Amino acid sequence: MTNKVILLIDMDGVQADWTKRVLSTYTEKYPDRFVPKQEDVTEFFIEGLFPEEHREDLLKIPRTKGFYASLETIPGSIEAMKDIEENCKDFIEPYICSAPELDFEDLLCHSEKAQWVKKILGDFWLKRMILTKDKTVVRGDYLIDDKPVITGAVDPQWKHIHLKQPYTPSTAQCTFEWSQWNILKKHLLKESKKYLKESRYYRSGL
């Protein structure tokens, strides 16, 4: 047993500003069409906010070469990721856990996500990337993710921490913003101490 808390961290909508890039690119390509403001994107599946005849134009944007490799960062996320790398390795076992776009041009989404991580975060995080369409099968204690509901093949072991976005459901039990990272860090440290205590009981046979 280990006293480290396994923390899984999503990319798009958590570290990388997927929505901002989609909206800005769509505006550039179709300046005469309606485009919602980012704060008005109240649906996770953004295409639902657009007229049906325009949805395919929208969906082509995040499926084109260069999209994921050049996403902007979400404020506060990179500072927290660096803090985890430099100051939290004694009690947090961290991984990036992201779902790649399978309809991406030439299936390059996987490599572009890796390029983004190497450029923005460095080799430490590049070696801790998990790319999967089913996050429920990944072992962890907590998952920071912006998706309102995450389903898959099994009931996940991790607890879902919702990265707060305009589409975060009001019923979400655990919401989080990067400005609250120090609060979450203290909680994870407390959890690790509890795990350490439990592991000592386990080794002693109590």
Tell me what pLDDT residue 168 has: 97
Side-chain-facing half-sphere of 197: CA atoms under 13 Å: 6
Mean pLDDT by 10 residues, the chain (206 residues): 89 98 98 96 97 96 94 98 97 97 86 97 98 97 98 97 97 96 97 75 40
Active-site pick, 10, 17, 145, 146: 10
Helix or strand run (H / E) with residue 144 = strand 142-145
Tell me what pLDDT residue 205 has: 41
90 carries an active-site annotation: no
Instruction: Report how many domains make up the chain.
Output: 1
At 26, which amino acid appears?
Answer: Y
Tell me what pLDDT residue 198 has: 67
Tell me what pLDDT residue 184 has: 97
Residue 157, SS3 per DSSP:
coil
Read off the tokens for 26: 């769509």
CATH of the domain at 83: 3.40.50.1000
12 carries an active-site annotation: yes
Tell me what pLDDT residue 13 has: 98
Tell me what pLDDT residue 199 has: 53
Domain interval for residue 192 = 5-204
